[in-house]
Amino acid sequence: MKIRIYILGILFFLCSAAYGQYEQYLEMVEPYLSEPIESGFFYFNTPNNLQPGYLYQLYRQSAPDLNNNMIVTNYHKDNIIGFSHYKYQQTYMNIPIEGAGCIEHYTPDGSLSFINAKVADSIKESHIPRLSGKEALELLSKEINEKEVVFAWEDREWVQQMKLDNDGDVTALFPSTKLIWAIDEMKDVQMIIPGHRYKLAYEIPVTYIYPNLETIVYYVDANNGSILKHRSTLHNDGPAKIYNYGVKTIDNQWSGGFVQKYILKTNDNGRYIHTKKPNNINSAWWTISDVTDADDVWGDFDMKETSTHYHTSNSWDFFYNYFGRYGQDNAGKKVRVKTQWSVHNAYFQPFNSYNELAFGYTDFGGYFGEEPSVVGHEYTHGVIYHTANLAYEFESGALNESFADIFGTVIQAKMLDGGYTDWILGNHVPISVLMSRSLKDPKSRGQNYGGNVGQPDTYGGTFWYMGDYNFDRGGVHVNSGVQNKWFYLLTDGDSGYNDHNDYYDVTGIGMDKSIKITYLALTSFLLSSSQYKDSREATIKAARLIFGDCSYEHISTANAWYAVGVGNQYDCEPVSVGVEKELNFEVFPNPTKNSITIAMPDIIASTISIYDITGRLIGNVDSSQNLIEYDVSHLRSGIYIIRFEFENSSFTKKLIIE
């Protein structure tokens, strides 16, 4: 019972009316915390008998705090380590809170291993909207109708398409309203998200077909009708001849008839992929003619279409062959592919009954659909959408782009190039260095805020974008270079100095291991609001669970992050439980108000550090003496953790400041 109350206290102490309740929880269960909190990751001693979802309900009754809740939204069991993962959405007054929630992770024997969370703290605004959803939609309509746009529900062909896709139901074409707590922007999202960053708003998705086929989600203030922000769901970026790869067997389908009998629609292995070449990229699917061939031997004329179809099929097969993932959503959701888009871009966009990929041209006249890493990149956006669903802005969006870059590169290497890669995304078609990217050397390719060549390879270093949403949604195609470099280092290894002048020396673990770590972290450990430090913790935890604590895979994962400026090097010293008695030391008075004395008559610690309960470093204590006086009068009341590190062990002790 103690551990149950403890976990709830950690996750929701800032949502309750008084800090004292949380301190009581910690008093009872501090011994059950197995290691320090890192970036919202809470680790527990196992085995235990905690049941999914029970913790939150117990907390609500014990605090009491009946206004906050966690509602389960997804469950899956991964096939890498066999863990069960329960994802929750935080609500306040039964209204979902954007970017706030948690994931519970259970071992195969049913023990709760760890939780990672982002928790909204003390929302003060009234939960009763002054405007109805209908009124908010009317105000939004007046605003956006002033522009030259065509909505999907206004177009006869799109209405017909919706009927075909949804058994006559066209309601999904029309805007719906959902009341939520909307965050100001998905930037600097820490474990505890201050309540003042939220406003009560209606989330309203609107689908356009002109000037672009795009669904834009508007967030309308539920009290005054102003548009708080808007976000696009668009993520940019038989035998047949395949560009740069010669003749390959493609998965297509016989359509019947006496002539032109074969179309680019998959027929084998349970794939659901259909490829067409539209005259207008915004056209409804049913109005676009199929790409056809009479004898199922496809030639040069259709090479752009057959190449795109082949690379999309390979992307589907990669996730299935390596991870048992059946389609982007792991349930065989249809993928529609549009070729030869007339702009310099490629995109992924989700719809209710299918996902859509579209491929245009590079700035040097190359065609993106003939570049396997780019097709794999766009396909991976669909996997991300159905798993972590990383918000496509700021650091979350940079991680989204980076994961797509990583898997696109690996798909090309594993499915076509025998495991080899030069680490360049866009290496098979004519393309400028501005539109291509390098995982090995991000500074050599890509585009930064100044319009010049180069992405950052160090967090906060050269080319790192720190501006607002208006440029590249907060730098999603710029700051992605940091995690890209991390993956290269983890795979191949390297040494040198980063932009902070920190020396690193990383041992590579190979692509098979590095992509397994990356996949588990992405699909099971990350939230929509996850930041770079969360990805670090998630991948380190994945490495520990797959390969073991203090394995060289574990150490290399952490050291690769250190190399790109995220976190510290890892020495992997074991944590000793019960070493306190062996070393004969004391911390007194405890509780205290002004100062503490640390007495260590037998040994001197190499490092003594004080952390708050969220894992934030408060300060270091001079550890050169056996008897140490330390002033804590500047710290506010609460619970803190003192971490002692010795030559072969380390442990923590709780400190209460009144």
User: Is there a single domain that holds both residue 30 and residue 46?
Assistant: yes
User: Is there a single domain that holds both residue 81 and residue 152?
Assistant: no
User: Is there a single domain that holds both residue 167 and residue 109?
Assistant: no
Please give the pLDDT value at position 301: 57
Please give the pLDDT value at position 35: 76
Please give the pLDDT value at position 13: 46
Query: What confidence tens digit (pLDDT) does each residue in 208-220 have?
Result: 877 778 888 999 9
User: Is there a single domain that holds both residue 164 and residue 214?
Assistant: yes
Domain boundary among 232, 267, 293: 232
Asked if residue 182 is part of any domain, the answer here is yes
Asked if residue 190 is part of any domain, the answer here is yes
Taking phi first (over 0 means left), then psi (-120 to 50 degrees means alpha), and beta for anything else, what does residue 178 get?
Answer: beta
Domain boundary among 232, 254, 274: 232
User: Is there a single domain that holds both residue 466 and residue 427?
Assistant: yes
Asked if residue 294 is part of any domain, the answer here is no
How far, in Å, CA of 338 to CA of 309, rounded?
10
Burial class (CB in 10 A: 0-12, 13-18, 19+), 79: exposed
Contacts of residue 571, defined as CB under 8 A and 6 or more positions apart, other chains included, come to none
Please give the pLDDT value at position 573: 56
Domain extent, residue 191, equals 133-232
pTM for the predicted model, two decimal places: 0.83
- Structure-block tokens of residue 601: 């008559």
User: Is there a single domain that holds both residue 601 and residue 494?
Assistant: no
Residue 248: closest CA among 179, 318, 294, 306: 306
Q: What secondary structure letter does DSSP report for 454?
A: -
Query: What confidence tens digit (pLDDT) does each residue in 398-438 have?
Result: 999 999 999 999 999 998 889 999 999 988 888 888 889 99
Asked if residue 459 is part of any domain, the answer here is yes
Cα-to-chain-centroid distance, residue 376: 17
Q: Please compute, for residue 200, the number of CA atoms within 13 A of its CA located in the half-sphere on the CB side.
A: 20
User: Is there a single domain that holds both residue 545 and residue 471?
Assistant: yes
User: Is there a single domain that holds both residue 172 and residue 49?
Assistant: no
Single-letter amino acid code for the residue at 603: I
Asked if residue 277 is part of any domain, the answer here is no
Q: Which residue has the higher pLDDT, 83 or 266?
A: 83
25, pLDDT greater than 70: no
User: Is there a single domain that holds both residue 21 and residue 42?
Assistant: yes
250, pLDDT greater than 60: no
The CATH number assigned to the domain holding 642 equals: 2.60.40.3080
What is the number of domains present in the chain? 4
How far, in Å, CA of 606 to CA of 622, rounded?
9
Asked if residue 334 is part of any domain, the answer here is no
Domain boundary among 198, 217, 232: 232
Asked if residue 22 is part of any domain, the answer here is yes
Asked if residue 506 is part of any domain, the answer here is yes
Cα radius of gyration (the chain): 27
User: Is there a single domain that holds both residue 533 and residue 627?
Assistant: no
- DSSP for 580-609, please give it: HHHHT-EEESSSBSSEEEEE-SS---SEEE
| pLDDT bucket at 27, cuts 50 / 70 / 90 | very low
The CATH number assigned to the domain holding 510 equals: 1.10.390.10
Please give the pLDDT value at position 239: 41
To the nearest whole number, what is the mean pLDDT of the chain? Answer: 83
User: Is there a single domain that holds both residue 587 and residue 556?
Assistant: no
Q: Which residue has the higher pLDDT, 243 or 34?
A: 34
Please give the pLDDT value at position 329: 95
User: Is there a single domain that holds both residue 563 and residue 583?
Assistant: no
